[in-house]
Structure 1
Amino acid sequence: MSETTGKAFDFKLFKRLLGYTKPYKWTFSFVAFAAIALSVLGVLSPILLEKAIDESILPKDWNGLVYYVILMIVVLLGEVLFQFSFIYYANWLGQTVIRDIRVKLFKLMMSFRMKYFDKSAVGRLTTRAVNDIETIASIFSEGLFTIASDVLKMVVILGVMFYKSWELTLISISIMPILIYATRVFQRAMKGAFEEVRNQVANLNTFVQERITGMKIVQIFAREETEYKRFVEINEEHKKAWIKTVWYNSIFFPIAEISGSIALGLIVWYGGLNAIADEVALSGDITLGVITAFIQLSQMLFRPLRMIADKFNTLQMGMVAANRVFGILDTKSHIADEGDIELKETRGDIEFKEVHFGYNEDEEVIKGISFSVQSGQTIALVGATGAGKSTIINLLSRFYEINGGEICIDGISIKDYTLPSLRSHIAVVLQDVFLFADTILNNITLGDETITEETVIAAAKEIGVHEFISSLPDGYHYNVKERGTMLSSGQRQLIAFLRAYVSNPSILVLDEATSSVDSYSEEMIQTATDKITKGRTSIVIAHRLATIKKASQIIVMDSGKIVEKGTHKELLKKENGFYKNLYEVQFMKEEAI
């Protein structure tokens, strides 16, 4: 994650952000041109007003007045046209840029190794991918071009003012050093304030997301009052962060308003005295028209300066958000897809050779494991909780990188295969089944257009789950809602089996947990297991004696090591063996039943 620089403005970060506008350089150029046009057109109105007063209204020249009024209308229409173009295309550019960044970010996040998600809060990542990226759009729509337009307008205004009367100009800008200093202090203060705001937004999103997801646990253990108090505390911190930005705004903007009013008063006082006394200034006559023009020009000069500070807030918040998003884009946590072999067909031979692995560098959970599975065989992994069984599943699909040793499929290291082709031949049914808030059909096909509804129905009939799905409202088009909450745990697992089966994998990995399902669902799961493992190389974390007995080989694990191998009968013959003890504690009652 990139660090906050502490500067009021990070030009290096800004330059990187502008790099995303290169594909849209013509739109960028047009918006810049519109900004220039607006700065020029904005100054023409006071000049025309001055001319109308001095050359038409005071001399009572009706034709001249009509002429200047028509010119002002033309200028106004030009301003409207360029203002529309400026706002529309600046916003279009901003939304297009954040679309590209969001696509890039999401694609990168999908390639991250599981270790990254293990350590990253979902709510915080959601904030980065949604809220922060949306904030970046304001850099273009309200920040960059608006500031550039305002600065350019101020330069043009000062040029015109000096040309008209250097005395009135000096009076107008006499307060500007104070305002510029206040603006600078304000910008620095807001930098830290916005950083804190983004932190508190992420904390709030994370807390709410986790509590909503785990609401069942909250209510089961009657933690509503505790979680409510914690939410109040986090929400209060969020409010304090925003109040700090409000405090800075409430100090700065009155100072800016007072400064502008003082400058306006000085112009009226000095210009009025000269006009009344009919004195001639060194730079020319200070006429009623000049005074009127200066009143408008001074307001136009100070308004952009006040607005620049406001827009700089927007720019600053966008830069803080960009810093956080780029922090994720710079994260080096993805699985290296450096293989050049496309795994098109596979026999399904699997071999683990002295594999070492740890989720943390100083804590190894897999300690030199070696075993092989022949094509079409089913091996069962058994052992106590924490023995490393599920880790084997994660390593085979390269969700995590091993620390040592080698994992081979068909005699070739899995690192030599391209990652998509490797995973396309491996189907995994996990103990914790995840379903998206979508229809059963879409949860099975996962958007694969090559898998038709007819194929899914035929597969469901083969493994015995068609009747269950058909009994649901809308059948295969039944929406299971978020995480499949509309289905029981057994039903969710049946959907997961069907999802694995229709992908027609060469290698099947099952974590067949049935501790929380009813006997009817368990019977269906057993039927599904027998069907989808037939003729396929399968690695099963076994929770049922029936599966273990049918396995070609049983691998017994303990504390990250393989302590025994063999068939069910072979392992039962070992006196005081790990498997025999496990069988007597866990499986003997099941066999008796």
Structure 2
Amino acid sequence: MSDTTAQTTHRVVDAPERPKDGPRQRGHGPMGNQGPAEKAINFGPSLRRLLGNLRPERTRIIIVAILTAAAVVANVLNPKILGEMTNLLFAGLLGKNLPAGVPLATILEQLRAQGQGTFADMLAGMNVTPGAGVDWDAVARIGLLALGLALVAGLLSWGAGWMLNDAVQNSVYRLRQEVEAKLGRLPLAFFDRQPRGELLSRVTNDIDNIAQSLQQTLSQLLSNLLTLVGVLFMMFWVSPVLAVIAIIAVPISLAAAVLIGRKSQGRFAAMWKSTGDVNAQVEEAYTGHTLVKVFGRSKEVEARFARDNDLMYSASFGAQFLSGLMMPVMMFIGNLSYVAVAVVGGLRVASGQMTLGDVQAFIQYSRMFTQPITQVASMSNLLQSGVASAERVFQVLDAEEQIAEQDNHLPVPTRGKVEFSHVEFSYTPDKPLIEDLDLTVEPGSTVAIVGPTGAGKTTLVNLLMRFYELNGGHISLDGVDIATVPRAELRSKVGMVLQDTWLFEGTIRDNIAYGRPDATDEEIRAAATATYVDRFVHSLPEGYDTLIDDEGSNISVGERQLITIARAFLADPAILILDEATSSVDTRTELLLQRAMNALRENRTSFVIAHRLSTIRDADTILVMREGSIVEQGNHEALMAAEGAYYDLYQSQFSGPEVTDDAA
């Protein structure tokens, strides 16, 4: 071997490279299988945690409680007031038909003597003035009072609803911020295990469902509970006997609500899980639409979507059916209570133990009493749905984060000396990938890593970027352990160009400037010119202001790759990583890019991963990986003269010999 700037002693075992999309816990390809169904939610702790997010809004919540309580008091007093109006009207109508000037006691005695004792008992229980008609002034005053209370209750309820909506939306706003910040702290391994559509469903659909559930349940729950307390007090005030009859319906209603709630709890968890699965499948099929068509897998994709859609339908139908069942059951129990109250109340009016107005008020109270129970029971299913979504979001928030940042710093300027010392790493604990890797790369040198797919080439640069944490050993940059340096500072020193290009929706200028947002137009154009982006930009209608979508479908694959190279060029990093960076350009463009790459690599440490050996012939050091180990190292001339593994690999590309297992 010739002298090089890299010295390596290591062994890599069983080293299949991680797929670009990363390992996943369950299949989500066109022929992937569904994973196991999620367990039912842990309702109590999840609900307490969800409500705990409202703690910063406690001032608003207190004001909402006060306004709601005042509105409930106004609503609860109204039936009693209207009952008094009924008493006035009824007493006036009865008194008008009685002889004026005759004492009521005399009339009652006459009625009993005539065998009309029941009527006499009813009159005795009412404030009747013989010969007097309806006191319309008193009726008008009571009516205006009832109308005023109704208006006040409506205004108070509107104010409470407005403030509660503000509190809930602020809480959900903070939750979205927490999720966004959390996603930035999660390791790449987390995203490897999460289908994109499933993760998107958690941070969009589930959070929206949380907002809707909180808004609908909290606004009604507080009002209904206070109404229940107020109505119960008024019921016992009006008639303890009828109150006991009405209360009998409560344990029956609660038992039905608990039974239905338990049945629906797991259904809502399954519903939102299946929603995430369908989103993941649709997102994947749409992203890979061209690939699906090329390989003729449309029927398989459609069949899998139909299966996922059926599962989602079954779960949603079960959840919504049980949710819809709650209201009819509660109404049936409430109607039974209503009938019992009406019958017993009528008998007590006939016996003179109650006035007609009190019975009317009590019937209204019985309706007001069963309505909150019915609504609370119905809301329990909506709350189940919201808590099921909350738990899915909490699973993201509770996911294990990256190792905490330390406050060490890289030297300025950064020279670019990289050292791997006894590095050990594996994507999964049971499959070691890299064991005892030692590698030293001097500043300004170019190290090319070649070999067949599955040799762990990309893993080396992933570790250098701290996309994954080491199982053992350490990596240093200019003598500083990169594990002690903030990731943002480390990655600001590294420019990376991948085989899979990534562009966001925006102009070509914006995509190039992503490498250095404060760059001037002149610097952007200089980077574009150096990487030959400027050649094709002028042929586009809007030039550098041409809008491209996130898939870059309105420009070619090669042009997208040129833009990503220009982005790295503009960033001017101390370390450059090129992972098959020219794989999608034509031969002529590749030659032009080689000149740009030579300028880009000048005075900076470069790692080049390549299958096309023509792109790395001028590298200072070439590391040849095959069958889980580095079998050769040196520059191009030395490796060709050695006629070893690199020579065989080179000849297989440029001389076209028959490929054997040894030369693959």
TM (norm. structure 1) is 0.93
Whichever residue aligns with residue 390 of structure 1, its letter is T
Whichever residue aligns with residue 179 of structure 1, its letter is S
Equivalent of residue 352 in structure 2, options 263, 280, 286: 280
Q: Give secondary structure in 2 for the equivalent of 1:550.
A: coil
2:415 and 2:604 in contact (8 A); partners too: no
Q: Give secondary structure in 1 for the equivalent of 2:277.
A: helix
What is the CA distance between 1:509 and its match in structure 2? 0.4
1:561 aligns with 2:629: yes
What is the CA distance between 1:250 and its match in structure 2? 4.5
1:47 aligns with 2:80: yes
What is the CA distance between 1:488 and its match in structure 2? 1.6
Equivalent of residue 246 in structure 1, options 320, 326, 331: 320
What is the CA distance between 1:313 and its match in structure 2? 1.3
CA distance in 2 between partners of 1:341 and 1:447 (Å): 21
1:123 and 1:210 in contact (8 A); partners too: yes
Equivalent of residue 224 in structure 1, options 276, 290, 298: 298
TM (norm. structure 2) is 0.83
Q: Give secondary structure in 2 for the equivalent of 1:352.
A: strand
Q: Which shows bigger deviation, 328-337 or 414-423?
A: 328-337
What is the CA distance between 1:234 and its match in structure 2? 1.2
Q: Which shows bigger deviation, 56-65 or 312-321?
A: 56-65
Identity %: 36
Counting only pairs closer than 5 Å after superposition, residues 321-400 of structure 1 correspond to structure 2 as 321-341=389-409, 344-400=412-468
Counting only pairs closer than 5 Å after superposition, residues 569-580 of structure 1 correspond to structure 2 as 569-575=637-643, 577-580=644-647
Deviation by residue 1:166-220 (Cα, 9 ceiling, x = unmatched): 1222222233322221111111112111111112111111111111111111111
Q: Give secondary structure in 1 for the equivalent of 2:551.
A: helix
Equivalent of residue 66 in structure 2, options 33, 38, 43: 33
Q: Which has the larger radius of gyration?
A: 2
CA distance in 1 between partners of 2:240 and 2:345 (Å): 12
Q: Which shows bigger deviation, 472-481 or 427-436?
A: 472-481
Equivalent of residue 536 in structure 2, options 454, 464, 468: 468
Q: Give secondary structure in 1 for the equivalent of 2:406.
A: coil
CA distance in 1 between partners of 2:509 and 2:429 (Å): 41
What is the CA distance between 1:506 and its match in structure 2? 1.0
Indicate the RMSD between aligned Cα atoms, in angstroms: 2.2
Deviation by residue 1:385-406 (Cα, 9 ceiling, x = unmatched): 1111111111110001122222
Gaps of 5+ in 1: none
CA distance in 1 between partners of 2:403 and 2:245 (Å): 64
CA distance in 2 between partners of 1:454 and 1:6 (Å): 56
CA distance in 2 between partners of 1:73 and 1:230 (Å): 60
Q: Give secondary structure in 1 for the equivalent of 2:405.
A: coil
CA distance in 1 between partners of 2:419 and 2:627 (Å): 20
C-alpha spacing 1:498/1:206, structure 2 compared with 1 (3 Å): same
CA distance in 1 between partners of 2:189 and 2:249 (Å): 57
What is the CA distance between 1:552 and its match in structure 2? 1.5
2:419 and 2:438 in contact (8 A); partners too: yes
CA distance in 1 between partners of 2:521 and 2:173 (Å): 32
Q: Which residue is equivalent to 1:101?
A: 175
CA distance in 2 between partners of 1:390 and 1:132 (Å): 35
Q: Give secondary structure in 2 for the equivalent of 1:468.
A: helix
1:538 aligns with 2:538: no
What is the CA distance between 1:6 and its match in structure 2? 5.7
What is the CA distance between 1:28 and its match in structure 2? 2.0
Equivalent of residue 586 in structure 1, options 649, 653, 656: 653
Counting only pairs closer than 5 Å after superposition, residues 163-562 of structure 1 correspond to structure 2 as 163-275=237-349, 277=350, 279-281=351-353, 286-341=354-409, 344-446=412-514, 449-562=517-630
Whichever residue aligns with residue 538 of structure 1, its letter is S
Q: Give secondary structure in 1 for the equivalent of 2:548.
A: coil
1:118 aligns with 2:185: no
What is the CA distance between 1:381 and its match in structure 2? 1.2
What is the CA distance between 1:513 and its match in structure 2? 4.3
CA distance in 2 between partners of 1:252 and 1:111 (Å): 42
CA distance in 2 between partners of 1:257 and 1:241 (Å): 25
Aligned residues: 580
What is the CA distance between 1:339 and its match in structure 2? 4.5
Q: Which shows bigger deviation, 62-71 or 497-506?
A: 62-71
CA distance in 1 between partners of 2:305 and 2:527 (Å): 47
What is the CA distance between 1:520 and its match in structure 2? 4.0
Q: Give secondary structure in 2 for the equivalent of 1:549.
A: coil
Gaps of 5+ in 2: 1-24, 26-37, 93-133, 658-664
1:50 and 1:290 in contact (8 A); partners too: yes
CA distance in 1 between partners of 2:334 and 2:411 (Å): 71
Q: Which residue is equivalent to 2:211?
A: 137
Relative to total residues, which structure has the larger helix share, 1 or 2? 1
Q: Give secondary structure in 1 for the equivalent of 2:438.
A: strand
CA distance in 2 between partners of 1:452 and 1:64 (Å): 82
What is the CA distance between 1:544 and its match in structure 2? 4.0
Q: Give secondary structure in 1 for the equivalent of 2:616.
A: helix
C-alpha spacing 1:290/1:310, structure 2 compared with 1 (3 Å): same
Deviation by residue 1:298-319 (Cα, 9 ceiling, x = unmatched): 1111111111012111211111
CA distance in 2 between partners of 1:392 and 1:18 (Å): 45
1:69 aligns with 2:143: yes
Q: Which residue is equivalent to 2:152?
A: 78
- Where relative contact order (Cα < 8 A, 6+ residues apart) is larger, the structure is 2
Deviation by residue 1:494-552 (Cα, 9 ceiling, x = unmatched): 01101111112111100134444323432443333223222221111134444322211
